[in-house]
Structure 1
Amino acid sequence: MPLIALAIACLLAITLCYAGVCAGSPFGTCRKCNGFGFATTTDRKGRPKRGKRCRRCKGRGKRVRIGRWIYNRASRIYRAGTH
């Protein structure tokens, strides 16, 4: 039994820490372009050059975190239901 309680306490701590991160910094770097906003390619000499605009983040380099997206969606549904 103490092992289960310890596991639940650890999961609760991780969840609260992630909620704090989502509240404090709702945007994270885009995983596709690593926050550059564009794909990096190389020219024929091997030097890096700017590629196309990232389609996932639309060239911003940032994305909404999953936890913040869930919170935004839940609050939008709640507001729509109370009016």
Structure 2
Amino acid sequence: MTPIALVIASLLAVTLGYAGMCAAAPFGPCRKCRGWGFELKTDRKGQLKRGKNCRRCKATGRRIRIGRWIFNRAQRLYRDGTR
């Protein structure tokens, strides 16, 4: 196999893998709170305690994946265009 064909095959495999992941699990953990839904603080003794709710994910701990967001936007555009 030529190197270009190998690169194209690997990119296709990565793309199909990401599309499958977006279809199976459309939500991933929030990047700011790492899926906890709140910020972790330490008190004066150094013990962890719960902080404020995460504003980015609204305390759910989940965010929509970029691929799923693009898919939802394309579906909405197609649906609105064919009415």
Relative to the length of structure 2, the TM-score reads: 0.97
1:14 aligns with 2:42: no
SS at 1:32 equivalent: coil
Which residues of structure 1 form unaligned runs of 5+?
A: none
What is the distance in 1 between the residues matched to 2:73 and 2:51?
33
Alpha-carbon RMSD across the aligned residues, in angstroms, is 0.9
In structure 2, the residue matched to 1:30 is 30
Matched residues, number: 83
Query: 1:75 maps to what in 2?
Result: 75
Q: Secondary structure at the match of 1:12?
A: helix
Identity among equivalent pairs (%): 67
Runs (4+) off by over 2 Å? none
Distance in 2, matches of 1:76 and 1:56, equals 24
Give the whole-Å Cα distance in 2 for the aligned partners of 1:54 and 1:76.
Answer: 28
Cα deviations across residues 33-78 of structure 1 (Å, max 9, x unaligned)? Answer: 0110000000111110111110110000000000000000000011
Counterpart secondary structure, 2:63: strand
SS class of match (1:71): helix
SS in structure 1 at match of 2:13: helix
State the distance in 2 between where 1:76 and 1:55 align.
Answer: 26
Unpaired runs of at least 5, structure 2: none
For 2:2 and 2:55, locate their aligned partners in 1 and report how far apart those are by CA, in whole Å.
Answer: 48
